[in-house]
């Protein structure tokens, strides 16, 4: 593409980042993400969502949250997909770090609840996947009453 003097655009970069993420090459996806900015081609919501999803699937939800915060600083706002991906990421993180000291066990569910509350405050409507992810997370942590409350919303 470059040899033919065709400059890659955001769609090209998004496809490459997606491909890296799908093959669990998340560090290369992040390098590609960083390259975008140096090429005067700026990441969009799809770019961020793709990389956040890659981080969450790689059990690196904290990296996904960092990217989410950066996204907001750049004036881009996540929607239902962004929030749902992160909530699912917190649930998946529990499977990796199941309560070594009793504290990390509850940290992720509280992070997921905080994110859900932020989503609602910003006027982003959750969908069935969002609610199912949050309810599953709450049940997994033994927070039955909270899960029941969210299922009635």
pLDDT in tens, 15-27: 999 999 999 999 9
What is the pLDDT, as a whole number, of residue 67?
A: 96
% of residues, the chain, pLDDT over 90:
45
What pLDDT sits at residue 105? 46
So what's the pLDDT on residue 141? Answer: 78
How confident is the prediction along the chain (153 residues), in pLDDT tens digits per residue? 556 667 788 999 999 999 999 999 999 999 999 999 888 889 999 999 999 999 999 989 999 999 999 999 999 999 999 999 998 888 777 655 443 333 334 467 788 888 888 899 999 888 888 888 888 878 877 888 988 888 888
Those residues whose C-beta lies under 8 Å from the C-beta of residue 58, and which sit 6 or more positions away, are: 24, 26
Mean pLDDT of the chain: 85
Q: How far apart are CA 40 and CA 16, in angstroms?
A: 17
The pLDDT score that the predictor gives to residue 106 is 47
pLDDT for 4 equals: 67
Query: 140: closest CA among 91, 89, 83?
Result: 91
Task: Please tell me the distance from the alpha carbon of residue 109 to that of residue 95, in angstroms, as a whole number.
Answer: 12
């Amino acid at each position: 593409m470059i040899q033919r003097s065709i400059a890659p655009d955001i769609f090209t970069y998004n496809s490459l980042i997606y491909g890296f993420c799908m093959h669990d090459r998340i560090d290369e996806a992040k390098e590609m993400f960083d390259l975008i900015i140096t090429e005067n081609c700026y990441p969009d919501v799809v770019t961020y969502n793709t990389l956040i999803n890659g981080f969450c699937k790689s059990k690196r939800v904290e990296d996904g949250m960092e990217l989410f915060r950066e996204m907001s600083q750049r004036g881009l706002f996540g929607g239902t997909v962004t929030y749902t991906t992160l909530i699912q990421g917190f649930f998946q993180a529990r499977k990796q770090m199941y309560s070594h000291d009793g504290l990390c066990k509850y940290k992720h569910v509280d992070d997921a609840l905080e994110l859900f509350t932020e989503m609602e405050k910003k006027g982003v409507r959750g969908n069935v996947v969002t609610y199912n992810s949050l309810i599953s997370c709450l049940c997994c942590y033994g927070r039955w009453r909270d899960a029941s409350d969210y299922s009635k919303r």
